[in-house]
Structure 1
Amino acid sequence: MRLYAERPARLTGQVLADVLAIAWAVVWILLGVAAHDLLLRLQGPGFTLVRAGESIRDAFDGAARGAGDVPLIGDRLAGAFGPGSDAGRTLVEAGQQQISVVGTVATGAGILIVVLGLLPVLAVWLPLRIRFARAATAARGASGEVLALRALAHRPVRQLNRVGTDPAAAWRTGDPEVVGALADLELKALGLRGISGR
């Protein structure tokens, strides 16, 4: 498969377009990663909630264990610390949920930024490059007669008139000079060297 033109002007344009497309993609990927990292900072309060909840839960659990050792009323006293321990667990769950939601939003936002940034590259640059590669590969595998016919069908009349006064008639009769000139014209339009190597 031929990915690049052979003629310097077209080749330079293709290489420049490829470099710009890659640079554009890298910039948007970096922006997506930066947005992801920035949004992840919002997980801080969630981590604080988790730590606070764990502290409250552990304090009430410890108090309940200590109260459980009190003779006669230990079980009842330990049970009184249960709501405080549950409140700590609730805080831990709320913090973990916030951490999870912020992580999901950060990942989604990062991906969305990258996808939106890459849309122009995927919608414009990539189809053009694929179309060129297919056309150039097909042209390199085609005979001079087929290329000449394509030139007759696709090249402007002013270009065809430079080949001869009636290039279609010359093509029909198989005039090798006109067929070669038409084939070269088609190859040149694709940025490829002609059959003669020029």
Structure 2
Amino acid sequence: MKWYADRPGRFLRQVLADVVALGWIGGWIWLGVQVHDTVRRLRAPGDGLVNAGSGLRDTFRDAAASAGKVPFVGGQLADALGAGTNAGATLVNAGNGEIDTAESLAFWVPFALVIGPVLVALAIWLPLRIRYARSAGAVRRLGRLDGGEDLLALRALTRLPLRSLAQVSDDPAGDWRKGRRKVIGELAALEQNALGLRRST
């Protein structure tokens, strides 16, 4: 495959189109990263709940363990303090739930924002570039073959506008059938020039 034309005008247009397409895709990906980082900050309250809940749970657990050693009433005190341990665990669970939600949003919101524009750009730009690369590569290979000039001339006859063909000859198809090398060469060059390629030597 040949990705870029030989002729400067077509080459510059292709490079500009590639830069615009890649800039568009890169810009949306950058925006997606910024949105991801912004949405991910929503997990901060969840982190706070987890830290507070862990501290509360650990404090009440240690207090219950110490209270359990008190004679006579230690069991009752430990049970009462156990409720604080449960409250801390509830806070931890709530914080983890908020963190999971924030992480999920931080992935899906940017994904939903970016995927549409990127897919549209790829669907329009990439097939055109691949089609050109295949066509230009095929024309370049044909031009180097024995008899390739005849094939390129035939391709020009079947593909190019009539006004372009008329500039080569009054009867380009007839001249091609009669094997007139000058006309065949000009038709082949016309086909190569249509893709921005220089004439094969």
TM-score (normalizing by structure 1): 0.94
Q: Which amino acid aligns with 1:165?
A: D
Q: State the distance in 1 between where 2:33 and 2:116 align.
A: 14
Unpaired runs of at least 5, structure 2: 143-147
- Matches of 1:185 and 1:146 in 2, distance apart? 12
Match of 1:96 in 2: 96
Equivalent residue number for residue 82 of structure 1: 82
After superposition, the C-alpha distances for 1:100-126 in whole angstroms (9 at most, x for unaligned) are: 221121012222333223123201111
| Structure 2: distance between partners of 1:88 and 1:171 | 90
Partner of 2:61: 61
Cα drift, residue 178 of structure 1: 0.9
Partner deviation per Cα, 1:12-45 (whole Å, 9 max, x = no partner): 1001111111211221111000000000111111
Instruction: Specify the alignment match of 1:26 in structure 2.
Output: 26
**Alignment gaps of 5+ in structure 1:** none
Measure, in 2, the Cα distance between the counterparts of 1:113 and 1:126.
21
Number of the residue aligned with 2:13: 13
Residue 140 of structure 2 contacts residue 200 of structure 2 at CA under 8 Å; is this kept in 1?
no
Q: Which residue of 1 aligns with 2:116?
A: 116
2:192 to 187, 191, 194: 187
SS at match of 1:81: helix
Aligned to 1:149: 154
Conserved? CA contact 2:35–2:106, under 8 Å: yes
Root-mean-square deviation over aligned CA pairs: 1.3
Which deviates more from structure 2 when the two are superposed, residues 132-141 or residues 111-120? 111-120
User: Counterpart of 2:125?
Assistant: 125
> Which position in structure 2 is the counterpart of 1:37?
37
Report sequence identity in percent: 49
> How far apart, in 2, do the equivalents of 1:158 and 1:194 lie?
20
Distance, in Å, in 1 between the alignment partners of 2:73 and 2:138 is: 92
Contact kept, 8 Å, 1:21 with 1:121, in 2: the verdict is yes
Q: Is the 8 A contact 1:50 1:96 kept in 2?
A: yes
Amino acid at match of 2:24: W
Cα distance in 2, alignment partners of residues 117 and 85 from structure 1: 50
Q: Please identify runs of 4+ aligned residues in structure 1 that moved more than 6 A.
A: none
SS in 1 for 2:56: helix
Partner of 1:134: 134
Deviation at 1:96, TM superposition (A): 1.1
Counterpart CA distance in 2 for 1:113 and 1:139 is 40
State how far apart, in whole Å, the 1-side matches of 2:84 and 2:93 are.
14
1:158: how far off? 0.8
Offset of residue 55 of structure 1: 2.1
